[in-house]
Amino acid sequence: MSEEIKEQVLNALADSLKIPDSAYEAAKNRYRDLGDWLKDTSKAKTARYSPHVSAQGSFRLGTGVKPWKREDYDLDLAFNLREGITKADYTQEDLKKLVGIDLNAYRIERGINEKLEEKHRCWRINYQDHLKFHMDAVPSIPQAEGARRIIKEQMIQAGSAEVLAQEVAELTVAITDDRHPNYRKVSDEWKVSNPEGYAKWFESRMRLAELLLESRVKMAKVATVDELPTYKWKTPLQRAVQILKRHRDVMFERDPDGKPISIIITTLAAAVYGGESDLQSALAHILAEMGHRVNSSIPRVPNPVNPLEDFADKWGTAEGRRLRLQDKFESWLIQAQSDFDNITSSMDKEFLRHQMVQKFGVDIDESILGGIFGSFPNIKTTPKTHHVSAHAKPWWNG
């Protein structure tokens, strides 16, 4: 299979997985509507605390994947009260209850029938319209200046540029979590998070594809890429992450508790991305290198915007060992390498369609594959198929 055909096949796969622009626009309209409502001091109790609502997670990064075997979209929001609330005066429980009061009032005024749902860190609003969103809002306040300064220094020591470290560290927040030992106590120790800072770091990795982004700017007729929503950047890094997450979902359909979490896949993929301008080169490089970025000691997968935090911390817990989370990550990576080798080495359209269904849960229309292969003969090749056990030895250990 030629490099051109490999690229077209992988892009057809990525196109079948991406969230439609209309869903991104609907999500943006919803969190902006909430943000505008919160500014009204006659309605919102948090209005005096300078509330700021923004998307986080895959919607913010432009790496969302079309729902598979479920109907709802998951929109994660940061609900940051930027002024007037400190850890010296409020407990995590106080903050969460305050935010919950406003979200419930907003829900009622907007005619959302389902009751507000409390999760460990967030409040969930369930929309029941044609898109079936649920919106998870995580209450937060800015992290103290001293703690932000320490994180900046840690990022620089870990290899981040000083300018990026400064910008990112300033966005660090403290969040609520009812599993935290100090949840109901006035305490300086809260769970630390930085979804906006992580998005800035992820964007810095996407910007390595400089020439590709310049072409996006010209096509959209804007001055800079920053004028485009992140999901419209459509970099090979974003599309690779989308493909890898769906492959993971399908592989672990019957073992959802054991599947590698999205933040690990996203972080490792972004960390090794080399700025490739085509999807097949980016994906091949990511799959070959991401395993090498898992440290042999703690932190195994450091948070790039808080290097002492370990995204793989659950691997070493009693539950993580019972679920064999590290083994399953390693097995998934081996299987992903094999499966991508298969779909980029066969000229058999029926085999490719079968692989797309079996490994990614999508049925690529035969006319699309026919258009890609054009006048090439339907050569039957022997695909390299591998069975990977849950105890497979990781390839990077020999």
Distance of CA 179 to the CA centre of its chain: 23
Distant-in-sequence, close-in-space partners of 370: CB < 8 Å, separation ≥ 6: 349
Are the C-beta atoms of 379 and 349 separated by less than 8 Å? Answer: no
At 37 the pLDDT is: 97
pLDDT of residue 373: 74
Q: What is the pLDDT of residue 130?
A: 67
DSSP string, 236-283: HHHHHHHHHHHHHHHHTTT-GGGSPPHHHHHHHHHHH----SSHHHHH
Which residues lie closer than 8 Å to 313 by C-beta, 6 or more apart? 298, 299, 300
User: Where do the H-state alpha helices sit in the chain?
Assistant: 3-17, 21-38, 58-61, 92-109, 145-157, 162-169, 195-206, 210-220, 236-251, 262-272, 279-289, 318-323, 325-343, 349-360, 366-373
Q: What is the mean pLDDT of each run of 10 residues along the chain (398 residues)?
A: 86 93 90 95 96 95 88 88 96 98 97 94 87 89 96 96 97 97 97 97 96 94 94 96 97 96 98 96 97 97 97 97 98 96 85 91 80 58 41 33
Interval 280-300: pLDDT, tens: 999 999 999 999 999 999 999
Q: How far is CA 63 from each of CA 29, 178, 319, 334, rounded to the nearest angstrom?
A: 19, 28, 28, 22
At residue 67, the pLDDT reads 85
pLDDT score recorded for residue 71? 65
Long-range contacts of 119-126 (CB under 8 A, 24+ apart): 120/177, 120/178, 120/179, 121/175, 121/176, 121/177, 121/178, 121/191, 122/76, 123/96, 123/99, 126/72
pLDDT in tens, 9-55: 999 999 999 999 988 998 899 999 999 999 999 999 999 999 999 99
For 242, the domain range is: 3-397
Query: Model confidence over 248-267: pLDDT tens digits?
Result: 999 999 999 999 999 999 99
The two three-digit tokens of residue 376, written as one number: 């090439």
Neighbours of 259 (CB within 10 A): 20
Those residues whose C-beta lies under 8 Å from the C-beta of residue 157, and which sit 6 or more positions away, are 307
Give the whole-angstrom CA distance, residue 316 versus residue 115: 37
Domains in the chain: how many in total? 1
pLDDT at 379: 43
CA angle 153, 303, 35 (to 5 degrees): 95
The pTM score is 0.90
